[in-house]
Chains A and B, each alone.
Chain A
Amino acid sequence: MASPCEVHLGPVDERTAADLVALVAGEAWRIEAKFSRYRDDGVVAEINSAAGVPVRVDEETARLLDYAAELFELSGGKFDITSGGLRRVWRFDGSDRVPGADEVRGVLRYVGWSRVRWQRPVITLEPGMEVDFGGIGKEYAVDRAAALVAAVTPWCLINFGGDLRASGPDPAGRPWHVGIEAVDRPDAANRIVRLSRGALATSGDTRRFLVKDGRRYGHILDPTTGWPVRDPPRSVTVAADTCTQAGMLATLAMLYGRDAEVFLTAQGVRHWCAR
């Protein structure tokens, strides 16, 4: 998951607590092993190395692909799990190596969900394309882990690196207090949210960028153009019923760039944007 993961439990005995933590950790590692693009033994590696050959996937992967397809349509192409290909020309290392227009046009040939043949349960990618569940994976894992714990104890908060879900407040009805980190002062919250139930997810842009000729290029790339989104907020936090929804809304908000707040307001969700 590439971030610190925590489980907060209500009053349970030590044995149950240990079992629940093992359950959550197990689910997190399972999802990571299966869907991480950095692993060469998971589903993603299998799909990405097929080079044009159709790949049959299991039920869980099929559901994720259905979800990705639905989101591609709903977002007008802004959310695209094949956008990882853009990484070939965009490397956000703080330098001034911004790709030229030709390079970007070139790499766009390998990007675009509309080029993917997805006929459940078979997926076929054109050679040179890749899929990446990075935009959904962590939030999905939080929801899955929360469901497993909820079957055992009602009072629980699962937090994977800032994407979190509370299944309910403590037995006395006191909500969880979640701090939203101030953008320019890590580890200090400047906003506190009282979460009784539901999820929070954050999309942020603070540390990866390029600067050339005085212009800053953030690392959120618009897959429809191949270029960074104009004017994204530096951080978006969204509250929703599930972590997957919260994460998706936060990601979409970032992709809307300067219209992030307008988009989120139109959705009617509680959100906090920092610019």
Chain B
Amino acid sequence: MQLKTSTSVAPPGGRELGTALATATCALLGTSAPASAIAQDIGQWRVDAGGLYYSEQHRVSDYSVNVLARTQPFEDRLLSFSLSFDTLSGSSPNGAAPSAAPQAFPRPITLTSTSGGTVATGGGNFTVPAGALPLDNSFKDTRYAGSADWQRPMGRLGLVSFGGSLSTEHDYDHLGVDAHVAHDFNSRNTTLSAGVEWSDDSVTPIGGSPIPFTALSLNAASIGGSRAKHVSDALLGVTQVFTQHTIVQLNYSVSRSDGYLTDPYKVLSVVDPVTGSLTPGSARGIGLYLYEQRPDSRDKKSLFGLLKHDFGGNVLDSSLRLMTDDWGVRSQTLDMHFKWNLKTDNFLEPHVRFYKQTAADFYHTVLFAGAPLPGYATADERLAKFNALTVGLKYGAKTTAGQFAARIDLYHQMAKPSPDALVGSLRGLDLTPDLKAIVGEISYRFGR
């Protein structure tokens, strides 16, 4: 069964009927010509598209295009799709710490067999000046991701949705499925929801996955092939309407990851416990850097609360998230947006986000020569103790076809090294330089 709609220009003759009808109707109703109707068809599709530019000072840049499309084949069914494409380039910290002396890092040679024969990549060194944070600039990647979600009612007061997602990049693939249910109570003022998700990911590091705690060298031994990672998430939530202007949500979620959780490209510097200078490695002029290792499971628990309040047309959106996991990381996130309507069709939305996390138990800025090796270790700053602040501003304006928006967010991450890392010559160095990034996005929404 098809639904057709059209408003093309009338051929000669057809219009006469319309005019005569209008005149006759005026005569019937005893009124003069009424104001003309304004009826706008809301297309069944709603599409949000955004182009993103992300750039870290001195480090990584990312350009991405994201599209989210939603349609309601019927009033109570919702189908959504998303597609995104990212391209990442630039330099990323490799985990080694700054040193008082210049450093050189070998690029492991990897042999890849292609249709044209075997190709060797890598080889050679890249050098880092004294005091600088070592960054590996061979970081280039392209990622494609997509997801789909289907939502339908469940009984009169509930709904259920099923979704799937997948993504691929040159060394990482992901496949996931999720399901949610929700039920309304109390005249739809209270909603209880629950959801689960399973992911099946696989990492295929370039050059194979290194053997943990072995030294970074031109020909480091590695395990070829893919490594698996599985993630299961569960969420329980309650949403409550308090007043005509206030709505609150509280969610509790748990997440368990199993499998290969280590970053195959990151190392830790091994330094002298007294002087802080780099321990010599096996090759001449190269220090000793050991590949990291993380546990093969991770359990996270989060408590999330959201409050939205309408102030006469302007909206305050504020949320707090508390997270803890069995790696020793505890974090708090406070995120606030205030949508300020300038006129009916434009708005400005300032944004501020405060984030704080503790270091993982096995985070070490550096390892010490002569000390026994820990079970797990990483110098990845993402698992260090840090505070982060985001400030941003978004501007939006309605247009005939939808809405246009542009925003900028400035992100500043300030990490602290492990307290025991400040030995000898390392004391005078900035072992965990701040990360500053800018996020710029232009987006357009079509449809209702």
B37 sits at the interface (CB 8 A): yes
Interface string of A171-186 (1 = CB under 8 A from B): 0110101010011110
**Contact B22–A245 (Cβ < 8 Å):** yes
Given A182-B74, A188-B76, A261-B6, 6 other A-B residues pairs in contact with their CB atoms under 8 A:
A63-B27, A74-B17, A74-B20, A183-B1, A190-B75, A245-B25
**Contact B4–A273 (Cβ < 8 Å):** yes
Interface string of A231-275 (1 = CB under 8 A from B): 000100001111011001100000000000101011111111111
Q: Say whether, besides A190-B44, A241-B36, A275 and B25 are in contact (CB < 8 Å).
A: no
A143 sits at the interface (CB 8 A): yes
**Chain B neighbourhood of A74, CB < 8 A:** 17, 20-21, 24
A217 sits at the interface (CB 8 A): no
A70 sits at the interface (CB 8 A): yes
**Selected interface stretch from B8-16, B168-176, B406-414:** B8-16
**Selected interface stretch from A49-57, A100-108, A194-202:** A194-202
**Chain A neighbourhood of B73, CB < 8 A:** 190
Within the complex, the shortest CB–CB distance from A80 to chain B, in Å, comes to 15
**Contact A244–B28 (Cβ < 8 Å):** yes
Q: Which chain B residue has the least Cβ–Cβ distance from A143? A: B29
Q: Say whether, besides A267-B15, A273-B4, A188 and B74 are in contact (CB < 8 Å).
A: yes
B333 sits at the interface (CB 8 A): no
**Contact A191–B3 (Cβ < 8 Å):** yes
Q: Say whether, besides A185-B74, A195-B39, A67 and B25 are in contact (CB < 8 Å).
A: yes
Q: How far is the CA of A197 from the CA of B29 in the complex (A)?
A: 17
**Chain A neighbourhood of B21, CB < 8 A:** 71, 74, 245, 248-249
Within the complex, the shortest CB–CB distance from A249 to chain B, in Å, comes to 7
Which among B39, B42, B72, B75 has the greatest number of chain A C-beta atoms within 10 A? B39
Contact of A70 among B20, B37, B44 (CB under 8 A): B20
A34 sits at the interface (CB 8 A): no
A32 sits at the interface (CB 8 A): no
Q: How far is the CA of A183 from the CA of B386 in the complex (A)?
A: 58
Within the complex, the shortest CB–CB distance from B170 to chain A, in Å, comes to 43
**Chain A neighbourhood of B14, CB < 8 A:** 263, 266-268
Within the complex, the shortest CB–CB distance from B445 to chain A, in Å, comes to 15
Q: Which chain B residue has the least Cβ–Cβ distance from A274? A: B3
Q: Say whether, besides A195-B39, A239-B39, A67 and B24 are in contact (CB < 8 Å).
A: yes
Within the complex, the shortest CB–CB distance from A203 to chain B, in Å, comes to 15
Contact of B37 among A64, A184, A185, A198 (CB under 8 A): A198
Q: How far is the CA of A268 from the CA of B9 in the complex (A)?
A: 6
Contact of A193 among B33, B42, B74 (CB under 8 A): B42
Q: Say whether, besides A66-B27, A70-B20, A196-B38, A179 and B4 are in contact (CB < 8 Å).
A: no
**Contact B39–A200 (Cβ < 8 Å):** yes
Q: Say whether, besides A74-B21, A183-B1, A267-B10, A198 and B41 are in contact (CB < 8 Å).
A: no
**Chain A neighbourhood of B4, CB < 8 A:** 261, 272-273, 275
A-B contact pairs, 21 of them (CB 8 A): A71-B21, A74-B20, A74-B21, A75-B17, A147-B29, A147-B31, A172-B313, A172-B344, A175-B40, A182-B74, A185-B74, A190-B3, A192-B448, A240-B37, A241-B33, A241-B37, A267-B18, A268-B10, A270-B37, A272-B5, A275-B2
**Contact A241–B34 (Cβ < 8 Å):** yes
Dominant secondary structure at the A interface: mixed
**Contact B1–A265 (Cβ < 8 Å):** no
Within the complex, the shortest CB–CB distance from B447 to chain A, in Å, comes to 10
A122 sits at the interface (CB 8 A): no
Which among B5, B6, B21 has the greatest number of chain A C-beta atoms within 10 A? B21
Which 4 A-B pairs give the minimum distances between C-beta atoms?
A: A198-B37, A266-B14, A239-B39, A196-B38
Dominant secondary structure at the B interface: loop
**Chain A neighbourhood of B31, CB < 8 A:** 147
**Contact A266–B11 (Cβ < 8 Å):** yes
**Contact A265–B6 (Cβ < 8 Å):** yes
**Chain B neighbourhood of A70, CB < 8 A:** 20, 24
Q: Say whether, besides A140-B28, A189-B75, A274-B3, A195 and B38 are in contact (CB < 8 Å).
A: yes
Q: Which chain B residue has the least Cβ–Cβ distance from A185? A: B74
**Contact A269–B74 (Cβ < 8 Å):** no
**Chain A neighbourhood of B448, CB < 8 A:** 192, 194
**Contact B35–A241 (Cβ < 8 Å):** yes
Interface string of A33-74 (1 = CB under 8 A from B): 000000000000000000000000000000110110011001
Within residues 55 to 85 of chain B, which ones have a CB less than 8 A from any CB in chain A?
72-76
Within the complex, the shortest CB–CB distance from A215 to chain B, in Å, comes to 19
**Chain B neighbourhood of A193, CB < 8 A:** 39-42
Q: Say whether, besides A67-B24, A173-B344, A261-B4, A270 and B76 are in contact (CB < 8 Å).
A: no
Q: How far is the CA of A266 from the CA of B18 in the complex (A)?
A: 9
Q: How far is the CA of A138 from the CA of B21 in the complex (A)?
A: 17
**Chain B neighbourhood of A261, CB < 8 A:** 4, 6
Q: Which chain A residue has the least Cβ–Cβ distance from B344? A: A173
Interface string of A101-127 (1 = CB under 8 A from B): 000000000000000000000000000
Interface string of B231-248 (1 = CB under 8 A from A): 000000000000000000
Q: Say whether, besides A190-B73, A194-B448, A245-B25, A270 and B5 are in contact (CB < 8 Å).
A: yes
**Chain A neighbourhood of B17, CB < 8 A:** 74-75, 266-267
A144 sits at the interface (CB 8 A): yes
Within residues 205 to 243 of chain A, which ones have a CB less than 8 A from any CB in chain B?
234, 239-242
B115 sits at the interface (CB 8 A): no
Q: How far is the CA of A263 from the CA of B73 in the complex (A)?
A: 27
**Contact A191–B44 (Cβ < 8 Å):** yes
**Chain B neighbourhood of A66, CB < 8 A:** 24, 27-28
Which among A179, A200, A265 has the greatest number of chain B C-beta atoms within 10 A? A265
Q: How far is the CA of A263 from the CA of B13 in the complex (A)?
A: 11
B400 sits at the interface (CB 8 A): no
**Contact B1–A275 (Cβ < 8 Å):** yes
Q: How far is the CA of A269 from the CA of B6 in the complex (A)?
A: 8
**Chain B neighbourhood of A147, CB < 8 A:** 29, 31
Q: How far is the CA of A198 from the CA of B40 in the complex (A)?
A: 11
B114 sits at the interface (CB 8 A): no
